[in-house]
A and B are shown apart, each in its own frame.
Chain A
């Protein structure tokens, strides 16, 4: 039964500007990223595979090559990049242009929720109790948008975005950055990881985004005496995913205790400059990504 007055779609004398306000916020991202040559997401369908470590390593290796590199820690609830890059939380300086991102020793410009939340505290939002699920996604999307739009990134050759496990944040990022250059996927060799990452890559493919490379982390452990590589996991997820999705396998990174220590102590740059074959492997991954991304 129709009401005896005009209905929603028949009334448009005064348009609500809420969609326009949301669009204006997203437009701020476009304006900011106009000085960024390319934005690349580092992702995986699975947690604990080393996305953040690889993000930090690739960013540092690219910076060592002379690229101007930014890194967004989009894992808002589990930020770890400041520790990995040895950047201590301090006062974020604000200018008219935005907040200046702190830099690592290698010159990687970084923004992370770890700079903004008390150490050892979970990220929580001011909200009425017990119903955070209703708007948590909107708040986190807003925080990601502000990390992109309100930070004075300056001119960058590449802005890496370290995504949390799963696919939701990739969808949000792609909506904010329609010109996303592509993604790098991180897996470990196991079949479980392969299956989870494959689901994520299916979404990447459906969105028409380039898969710029796959990295297999924890790809065995090297014997200190003979140098032979012994497997840590059964499986060959890196090669299988590269074949299935016709993407380059950027490389395999074996377990490396020295790398683990360097990561905990924020000394990745020093580790990367070493002669270990694993460090050389990471440098080659960065070179391959650089070549694939067309970085000058």
Chain B
């Protein structure tokens, strides 16, 4: 799928992705000439199809994790199958008490992967402390629905 700015006759470039948390996805494209932005709104089925292929609209912003698709996709995973980090030591990025508590709600099956993604997100942006607000922003930016 491509987006063409008809007035400028220029292909629009991917700008940002947002995941509202209702199973849908929005990808925003911008015309490099006039700056006009257009949002592509994907319904839950379209969003799921993209997710099933293990691809990210607009490209990857974090490296592949091991068993990424299995962790994100398997519905009734055995919770103790994959190692999850202890909540008291969430990593070099400082985690607020609220953020640690929120991370605790993530199933341990995927907690390690989610924590690494949040830490990576924070480090790339020079963020020293992880808070629920940063987690919300990361979810939206990275497409971490339900995490």
Residues of A within 8 A of B (CB): 5-6, 8, 11-14, 16-18, 21-22, 24-25, 28, 89, 91-94, 98-99, 115-119, 121-128, 131, 134-135, 138-139, 142-143, 145-146, 150
Contacts and interface: CB of A to CB of B under 8 A. Distances in A.
Contacts of A18: 53, 55, 57
12 contacts: A6-B4, A22-B54, A25-B54, A99-B82, A116-B74, A125-B73, A126-B73, A127-B48, A135-B52, A135-B53, A143-B69, A145-B69
B9 A6 contact: yes
A139 B76 contact: no
Contacts of B79: 118
Contacts, number: 127
A212 to B, nearest CB: 29
B36 interface: no
Interface string B7-21: 001111110000000
B60 A14 contact: no
B55 A146 contact: no
Interface size range on B against A? 35 or more
Interface string B24-58: 00000000000000000000110011011111110
Given A16-B2, A98-B66, A123 B48 contact: no
Given A135-B48, A135-B49, A142-B73, A5 B81 contact: no
Of B55, B59, B78, which is in contact with the most chain A CB atoms at under 10 Å from its CB?
B78
Interface of B: 1-2, 4, 6, 9-14, 23, 44-45, 48-49, 51-57, 59-60, 64, 66-70, 72-83, 112, 146
A92 B82 contact: yes
Contacts of A22: 53-55
B69 A139 contact: yes
B11 A94 contact: no
A127 B12 CA distance: 30
